[in-house]
C-alpha cells in the first residue's frame, strides 16, 4: 500500500507522539511504500503570528522521526512546502469544496473553541482540510495513519475526491482509507492529555534523570498514605503508564501487589522508569549519531522524489481541469 502521513513541526516530540503515531509509522514502513512529511504549511495555519523558524523545526522533527526508528532508506521523508505542487492542487480543490463541508467540520469547531487565544478565523485555517486532502491524494495514497481527531479531515478528503471525479468526469485519485492509530492515549503527568502546552509531558529527548524527576513527582492513588496501605491502580496515573509500556506479566503483578499493599509507589515508579527507558534509550542513541547535514541531505532527496510523484499527478489533474481530458492510469 501507498501510505502518506504528515506531522506539524511545532516543537519537541513526547512519549504520546511516539506511542500514538511514530510507533505505528515504524511498523507500517516494514511492508508499505511510505511517504512522511513535515506539514509546515499546516503549522503556519495556526501559528502564523508566532514567527516560528519552520525550517529548523522541520529539520528537528525529521531527526526525531529517524531517531525513533523511521528508516530513510525505506520511506520518503520530505517537507510539504518544498513540493509546490501541493499548493497548486490545494488551489484547485478549493474551487470545488463547498464552504459548508468546512464549516461543519467538528475538528474545526473544536479547535476554534480550544484556541480562543489565537486569531485563527482565517481562510487558511478554515481550508486546512483541503490542503490535507491535497497532501494525500497528490500521491494517490491508499491509506493514511491518523488519530481520532483527524477522521473528519479524511472524510472530507474522500468527499473532495468524489466531487472532483464527478465534476471533471475523470477518476484520477484514489480514495484514501484511514488507519486509526491504536488508542494508546498516554495521559500527561497531571492526568490530562499529554501536551507541551500543559507542561506535563515526557519528551523523547529527556535524559534518564529528567524522566525520573518527572515520574517521582507524579501523583499516585491518593488513598495510599503508608507503604502497606492497599492501593487502587485504576485511579493511579503510573499504572496507565505501565499498561502502555510494561510487559503484561509485570503489569498483572503490579496490579495484584498494589491492591495487596505489598509494593511501594517508589519501587513501582522505578519499574515504570525502566519501561520508559526501554523506549527512550535506543532513540537517544540513534539521535546522537545524526547531524543536521545528514538530515538536510535526506530531506533534499525526499523532496526530489516526492516532487516527481506529485508533478506526475498534477499533469493529469491539469489535463482534466483545463482540457477536460481524462487519462486514467
Ligand atoms: N493534520 C494533521 C495533524 O495535525 C497533519 C497532516 C497534514 C496530515 N497533512 C496530512 C496527516 C496528511 C495525514 C495526512 O496531525
Ligand atoms: Fe500507583 Fe504503583 Fe503506587 Fe499502585 S503501587 S498506587 S500502581 S504507583
Write the pLDDT tens digit of every residue in 147-174. 888 999 999 999 999 999 999 999 999 9
Domains, in order of start, for the chain: 2-186+291-327 (3.40.50.620), 206-286 (1.10.240.10)
Helix (H) or strand (E) holding 242: helix 237-245
The grid coordinates listed for 194 are 499529554
Best probe residue, ligand 2, of 214, 228, 254, 258 (max atoms within 8 Å of C-beta): 258
Give the pTM.
Answer: 0.94
Which residues contact ligand 2 via a Cβ below 6 A? 220-221, 224, 231, 233, 236, 238-239, 254, 258, 263, 265, 268-269
> What is the distance of C-alpha 190 from the center of its chain?
22
Element (H, E) at 144: strand 143-146
How many A from CA of 245 to the centre of ligand 1? 26
Query: pLDDT tens digits for 257-279?
Result: 999 999 999 999 999 999 999 99
Q: Is the pLDDT of residue 185 over 80?
A: no
Q: Which atom of ligand 1 is nearest to the CA of 4?
A: 14
Question: Which ligand 1 atom lies nearest to the CA of residue 128?
Answer: 1
Could you read off the pLDDT of 211-252 as tens digits, one per residue? 999 999 999 999 998 889 999 999 999 999 999 999 999 999
CB 245 within 8 A of CB 217: no
Q: What pLDDT score does 184 carry?
A: 65
5 Cβ inside 6 Å of ligand 1? yes
Residue (of 77, 166, 92, 75) closest to 133 by Cα position: 92
237-245 vs 265-288: helix crossing angle, rounded to 10: 50
Could you tell me which residues are beta bridge partners of residue 253? none
If we measure between CA atoms, which residue out of 158, 149, 111, 139 comes closest to residue 37? 139
Q: For 12-63, write each residue's pLDDT tens digit.
A: 999 999 998 999 999 999 999 999 999 999 999 999 999 999 999 999 999 9
Amino acid at each position: 500500500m501507498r501510505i502518506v502521513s504528515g506531522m506539524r513541526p511545532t516543537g519537541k516530540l513526547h512519549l504520546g507522539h511516539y506511542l500514538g503515531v511514530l510507533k505505528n509509522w515504524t511498523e507500517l514502513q516494514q511492508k508499505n511504500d511510505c511517504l512522511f512529511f513535515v506539514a509546515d504549511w499546516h503549522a503556519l495555519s495556526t501559528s502564523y503570528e508566532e514567527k516560528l523558524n519552520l525550517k529548523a523545526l522541520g529539520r528537528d522533527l525529521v531527526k526525531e522521526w529517524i531517531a525513533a526508528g523511521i528508516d530513510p532508506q525505506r520511506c520518503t521523508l520530505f517537507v510539504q512546502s518544498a513540493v509546490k505542487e501541493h499548493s497548486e492542487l490545494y488551489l484547485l480543490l478549493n474551487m470545488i469544496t463547498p464552504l459548508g463541508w468546512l464549516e461543519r467540520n467538528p475538528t474545526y469547531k473544536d479547535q476554534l473553541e480550544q484556541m480562543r487565544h489565537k486569531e485563527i478565523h482565517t481562510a487558511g485555517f478554515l481550508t486546512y482540510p483541503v490542503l490535507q486532502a491535497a497532501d494525500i491524494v497528490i500521491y494517490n495514497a491508499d491509506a493514511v495513519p491518523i488519530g481520532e481527531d483527524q477522521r473528519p479531515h479524511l472524510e472530507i478528503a474522500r468527499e473532495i475526491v468524489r466531487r472532483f471525479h464527478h465534476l471533471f468526469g475523470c477518476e484520477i485519485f484514489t480514495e484514501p482509507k484511514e488507519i486509526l492509530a491504536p488508542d494508546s492515549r498516554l495521559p500527561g503527568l497531571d492526568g490530562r492529555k499529554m501536551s507541551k502546552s500543559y507542561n506535563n509531558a515526557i519528551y523523547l529527548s529527556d535524559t534518564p534523570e529528567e524522566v525520573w524527576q518527572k515520574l517521582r513527582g507524579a501523583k499516585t492513588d491518593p488513598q495510599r498514605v503508608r507503604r502497606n496501605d492497599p492501593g487502587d491502580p485504576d485511579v493511579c496515573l503510573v499504572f496507565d503508564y505501565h499498561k502502555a509500556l510494561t510487559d503484561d506479566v509485570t503489569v498483572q503483578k503490579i496490579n495484584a501487589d498494589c491492591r495487596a499493599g505489598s509494593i511501594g509507589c517508589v519501587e513501582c515508579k522505578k519499574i515504570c522508569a525502566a519501561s520508559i527507558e526501554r523506549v527512550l534509550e535506543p532513540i537517544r542513541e540513534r539521535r546522537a549519531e545524526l547531524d543536521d547535514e545528514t538530515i538536510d541531505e535526506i530531506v533534499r532527496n525526499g523532496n526530489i522524489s516526492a516532487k516527481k510523484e506529485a508533478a506526475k499527478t498534477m499533469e493529469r489533474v491539469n489535463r482534466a481541469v483545463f482540457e477536460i481530458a481524462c487519462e486514467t492510469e
